[in-house]
Homo-oligomer: A and B are copies of this chain.
Amino acid sequence: MNLKQLSELLGLSQTTVSRALNGYPEVNEATRERVLQAVKETGYRPNKAAQRLATGKAGSIGLVMPTAPDHQSDVHFGEFLAGLGEEAVRHDFHFVIMPADPDDEVAALRRLAISGNVDALFVAYMRGHDPRLAMLKSLSMPYVVHGRSFGSEPDYPYLDIDNEGAFYDATRLLLQLGHTRFALMNGPMHLDFAIRRKNGVLSALAERGLTLEEGCTSHALMTDEQGLLAMEHFLQLPERPTAILCSSTVLALGAIRAVNQAGLRLGEDISLIAHDDVLPLLKPESFSVPLTTTRSSLRAAGVRIAQRLIGTVKHAGPFPDQELWKTELIVRASTGPVPQA
């Protein structure tokens, strides 16, 4: 069933039927009713490809999903998508996901943009000096970046959380509790958030004339296993750190296992603060020793970015170009005063 058939059925022209469906004013109310009724009965749906070709609008947001045979999937991706989806469903938008090898991301993004398949782009997993930014700027298609790109001029639309501030505050809390030996379990080194979090830690430490000792920083995928390995490493150091900052509750999971296996007590022998993306998967408050965290909902960020993207496509009011969300520092039992040697 297409427009032509439907209009013949109704004895109207395609024009009138199209206008009736798209809410144009110059169509008789009685006629519109008749059209709507026929649509209901026939189950007619406009062909999206044709609509897109005619209008140039696709009703969809594009994103590139990094993937490859050896590429590990990331829990955070799904959670973020849930946020985007929550907003998209309200506007009858959908997503076009282009899977791409991580090495091919710039090109993939470009292909997606000029394919005519999407109205706007969403970009994540930002790196320092990210090459995608230049490409996006040349594109004349709306986009929003989740995160930022350290080292690039911040003249692009983004939504980010204050990673540096979060880890600065967390470090200050641990300093106030008397800790002096710190370690940082971070995400992959090239990612922007990892750079900023490290900077946050370093600047808080610097205020006290401290720094991260040799071997007290780890960069790894944020999985349980990597958390375990990193912590085991820290615990073997001659000058064992007593304060751990951790980029994810998933890493914390493995880290805590290592602490327990070493016969140490979390919140007493070792204090730990993790960043909590509010994954439904893992609630820091229900850990054996509830976790002190810096918190910011990844999903909420997804909702907000979808709002901005869809709003821009629909020309619905101006949106702030750049948003930096503060995180909350929530103190629970995994932090305590430095143990007396």
Spell out A's residues near B (CB within 8 Å). 43, 45, 47-50, 52-53, 58, 60, 65, 67-69, 71-75, 77-79, 81-82, 84-86, 88-89, 94-101, 111-112, 114-117, 221, 223-225, 228, 250, 253-254, 257, 260-261, 280-283, 286-288, 299
Contact = CB atoms under 8 A, between A and B. Distances in A.
Nearest to A49: B52
A250 B75 CA distance: 12
23 contacts: A49-B52, A49-B117, A50-B53, A53-B53, A60-B96, A65-B81, A65-B85, A73-B78, A75-B78, A78-B81, A86-B99, A89-B99, A89-B100, A94-B96, A94-B97, A95-B95, A97-B97, A225-B283, A228-B286, A250-B281, A254-B286, A257-B288, A260-B288
A226 B278 CA distance: 15
A62 B74 CA distance: 21
A117 B95 CA distance: 11
Q: How many copies does the complex hold?
A: 2
A10 to B, nearest CB: 19
B115 A45 contact: yes
Contacts of A88: 99
* Ranked 7 nearest A-B pairs via Cβ: A78-B78, A85-B99, A73-B82, A67-B85, A49-B52, A72-B280, A47-B116
